[in-house]
Structure formats: C-alpha cells, structure tokens
Amino acid sequence: MELSSFNFLQQQDLPVGALYMVATPIGNLGDITLRALHVLNAVDGIACEDTRHSVALLQQFGIHKKCMALHEHNEIAGAQAVIQRLAQNERWAYISDAGTPGVSDPGARLVNEVQKAGFRVIPIPGASAVSSAISVAGSVMLNSEGRFQFLGFWPNKVKDRDALIQELTTSHKTSIFFESPHHIRETLLLLAKALDTEHQILLGRELTKKFEQIVSLKAADIPHWLENAESLKGEFIILVAGRPLNTEERVDHSELLLWAHALEPYLGSKEIAAVLSQTLKLSKKEAYQIALEVKTANKK
C-alpha cells in the first residue's frame, strides 16, 4: 500500500530548515514506522552513520536520496555541513546503523551543534533495544518500580569495569547495558562472581532478529547457562535487577516529614515527591503521599 493512502501522514507538518532524528529497525525491517518512511521520503538529504549500510536499508523501501557520512570521527564537521543545508531551508534526516540515534550511537554532538545554530531538531521515534528489553523484563524491573539507568556499552578498561560492577551491586535501579559477542562470556562470568546468587538478570541476544533469544537468569545460574548456550554470536543487551530495599534502610516517617517541610516553600508536591524518591529510596507513590501530607498540613 502506498504511503499516500494514509491521510494522517499527509496532514503532518514537516517544517523546512529542520533536522529529523529518525529511528530505524534494530534487526527486523518490519519495525520501520510509517512516519519514518514518510519523513525519509520527504527530506532533501540523509546523514548516515555508515552510508553503505544505510543506502542498502533505504533501497529496501525504495528510498533514493543523497546521503552524507556522519559518524563519530567526523560528527562536528558533518554537523556543520548539515547546518549549511538547513540554512538553505532544506530538510535533513539523520539515521544511525540501527535503532534510535544518540543511544550508544553518534547523534548527540550533531543535535547540539544544530540547536546551537538555531535550527529545530525533530525526533522520529521507533525501535530501541532498551525499551524492547524492558517490555519483557518482568521481575527484573520489579524492585526498581520501573526506574532504570542505561549505561551504554560495558567498559573494557579494568578500572571503569570495577566501578561499574560496584554500581550494579549497590544500585536500587535496574541497570541496562550492551555487550559485544567477543566479551559476553567474560562479562557474564564477572557478573556471576560479583552479584548475589539470587540476583536476577535478563539477557537479550539479537533482539527482533530471526534468532532472537531472551533469557531470565539468577546470577548463580550464569556459568551453567554459558556451558549450554546454543550460541554467543550477535549483539547482547543485559538487564541487572536493582537491589531490593532492606527495612533497616528505610527512613523514619518523622524524618521524611522534616525533609518535605524543608522543601515545601520552594517546590510543588510532584517536585518534592521526586526529590524524596530519588534521595531517600522511597517508592514514587509513598513519596507523593508524604508531599501531599505536608502540603495539606500547611494549608490548615
């Protein structure tokens, strides 16, 4: 079916002199969005992390546009070239090799330069390994009540790696990171050694692709899983559950009220709740109840 038959796409505003950050599939071509196709057909040119990869992707959908290489090694210079085009009232898109630009991919410097030059940057959302993995994480996300921290790729330097392991073992948020097939065995064995035996992780391999694999494990089960794994090829995403709160870690109710009273003259209820939740390890619901209690008391 032609895109022109979708009237809602034709009604969308596509301002000139704007950069469109377009998410592309992370493996399954079926995950391209109608809006992404509409934008890529409408722009004057496309900046790509790898033009060879992107041209092949675009040809799958019958899109033939002038492409410009813009990757981590030329991002600033590439941004200036894009800005010159935007100054001529052209529309340009940026696509990385897979997924959402700027998520462990180039894009942040490009966006920064374009915005500093006074041009609009418009997100065109789509596939993301992070959100895909979270949607099937289940118990791995329960302790953190939906909160998580994305840590990019697992570091290679020992010092950085040790710091990250310390963060994983103490954080109350679910920690999410990427790993390559070359280091996945070593990384998983490090996690098995560092985490408590019952600590839960979710391992995703080749998400959205033909040989997609999603496995929930306890840290103690990691060595056995590695011994029997069918394959360690492909790109991996790992979710490490946040550490559950212990009762002795909880702050006394009276102390919570003191905190909230101190913040009340300066912040609204939602902002107070956010501060309490992040700094005192409260659930969002409990923190908001404390904030409302203080606000109500001060109105009397």
State the CATH class of domain 130-240: alpha beta
The pLDDT of residue 247:
47
Angstrom distances, CA of residue 99 to CA of 30, 107, 142, 170, 261: 13, 12, 26, 30, 44
The pLDDT of residue 223:
96
Q: Full-prediction pTM beyond 0.85?
A: no
The fold adopted by the segment(s) 3-127 is: Cobalt-precorrin-4 Transmethylase; domain 1 (3.40.1010)
Rounded distance between C-alpha atoms, residue 125 and residue 36, angstroms = 8
For 153-173, the DSSP string reads EPPSSHHHHHHHHHHHHH-SS
Positive or negative, the Cα torsion across 276, 277, 281, 284?
Answer: positive
Cβ-based burial of 3 (10 A; exposed 0-12, middle 13-18, buried ≥19)? middle
Query: What is the identity of the amino acid at 127?
Result: A
Residue among 186, 148, 184, 183 at smallest CA distance from 168: 148
Q: DSSP secondary-structure letter at 243?
A: P
The pLDDT of residue 51:
93
Angstrom distances, CA of residue 137 to CA of 30, 239, 276, 285: 22, 8, 26, 22
The pLDDT of residue 104:
85
Taking only Cα atoms into account, the Rg of the chain, rounded to an integer number of angstroms, comes to 23
The pLDDT of residue 34:
95
- Residuewise pLDDT in 10s, the chain (300 residues): 567 668 888 778 899 999 999 999 999 999 999 999 999 999 999 999 999 999 999 999 999 999 999 999 999 999 999 999 999 999 999 999 999 999 888 899 999 999 999 999 999 999 999 999 999 999 899 888 788 999 999 998 988 888 888 888 888 889 999 999 999 999 999 999 999 999 999 999 999 999 999 999 999 999 999 999 988 999 999 999 998 765 455 566 777 788 888 888 888 888 888 888 877 767 788 888 888 888 777 765
